Amino acid sequence: MAPDTPVRAPRPRKARTAGGKVRGPSPSLTVRHGIGFTRNPCASLLRLHAEAGPVAVVGTRRMPFVHLFGPDANAFVFANSGLFRWREAFDLLVPVNGETALIVSDGADHRRRRRLVQPAFHHRRVAGYVARMAANTDAALESWRPGRTLDAYAELRGVIRRSTVEVLFGDRLAADSEVIGRRLQVALAAVDRNFVLQMVLRSVPNPYMRRVAESRALVTRRVDEEIERRLREGGEYDDVLGMLLASRDEDGAGLTRQELQDQVISLISAGYDTTSAAMAWAVHALLAHPEAEERARREVAEVVGDRPVEAADLPALEYLDGVVNETLRLFPPAVLSARVPVEDFSYGGYRVPAGAMVFYSPFVTHRMPEVWPQAGRFRPERWDRSSALYRPTTPATYLPFGGGPHRCIGSTLATVEIKTMLACLLRRTRLSLVSPAATPTSVTAMRPRGGVPVRVLG
């Protein structure tokens, strides 16, 4: 990917002195967007931007939803992180990730937890995971016999789940990865539900949310058993859980038991849910563009040959790198992200009140033709500096993993895993799409509705 360039963003102006206009939600726009968002969130966001411009307000006066679209808005949000809270914006993720997970942490708590977790995702450590990722992918591909029809999304999701648990938390938890995945899926399915329905389900006791809590509690218990066993055995473990257990801040304090549990579970769920969604789109995009698939296949054959994929191969797979980046541009796992302002502020001539829900959208930014030539087309060659389509990126124009202090901590792990698995697929098998059509679903881990049915050709 092209190196990022510095972003200069305006500082927020307090609304009480800026004199910005107060824009109330448009009832008709709210209804149209609400119906459209339920049916197809991605298409509805593109229509909302086209109709309302860079600032769109929907919802109610008591609960306005303020959409800030485009690179300038992204830069503003990232440059002014102190203006916003995360916890309230991401509260719906608590049933999956837990009360102390990074994604729902704010301020000093977030900075401390991120500082303790960050070393586990250093580039050099991630490179050490490639051999296991490749071995797990190759093992799964052994059963992909010619003539067989299968859902590539579901099959590869299982591989990613096992690899994620294995490289981050060790073989013992990896042996239970399928059970852990089934339990977490109950909670992930709850997060996937309509936003309004989630709010209702969270507000009153009900059997559905009890099942979510019970499923997550079972995963917590299994994680806690592994923590207890390691503490009892002593010694060092060369994986992320070992690093989390050993990590200490400046005062010598480590993560609490709940923090350990929540970081492990949130890293497992995010590590396979969003990565498998992106992997599904990568497979679909390549198969839908035979010329891109063939070019990537030739590159893998030249670099890797008949041996297993290794970490040293990845830098030489430059076109495949473009495939991954282009997939994440067109199909960013998080369609939109949210913040809650701690005070009124003014943006684009409009006053945004404290407590509103503020959204920015990687998906919309990545589809803006004024930012990306041929924005709606899958063109991996645009990442080659010699291409006429090439554009230098900034954190505000290319943001598949968010940005600012809360940028996804596992972004390197995700891109390395997708690239490794694609290299394994291209080296070992040929596939064709059962249907070329694919409709996005979910805004937290956008994936193709109905998966990616494929026929194994060889």
* C-alpha span between 397 and 121 (Å, rounded): 24
| C-alpha distances out from residue 385 to 3, 318, 426, Å | 11, 11, 24
Token representation of residue 134: 């490749």
* C-alpha span between 332 and 335 (Å, rounded): 6
| C-alpha distances out from residue 342 to 54, 85, 452, Å | 21, 7, 42
* C-alpha span between 240 and 31 (Å, rounded): 46
Token representation of residue 139: 């093992």
Phi, psi values for residue 111, rounded to 5°: -60, -40
* C-alpha span between 330 and 379 (Å, rounded): 10
Nearest to 164 by CA among 50, 82, 241, 218: 241
Token representation of residue 13: 């102006």
Neighbours of 57 (CB within 10 A): 20
Token representation of residue 106: 């704010």
Nearest to 142 by CA among 417, 454, 456: 456
Token representation of residue 235: 């010694």
Rg (CA), the chain: 22
Token representation of residue 375: 């924005």
* C-alpha span between 101 and 112 (Å, rounded): 12
Of the chain, the end-to-end C-alpha distance in Å amounts to: 32
- Residue 89 · residue 20 · CB < 8 Å: no
Crossing angle of helices 41-52 and 27-39, in 10° steps, is 150
Nearest to 65 by CA among 37, 104, 25: 25
Please check if 408 is assigned to a binding site. Answer: yes
Q: Which residues are annotated as a binding site?
A: 408
Q: Which residues are annotated as a binding site for heme?
A: 408
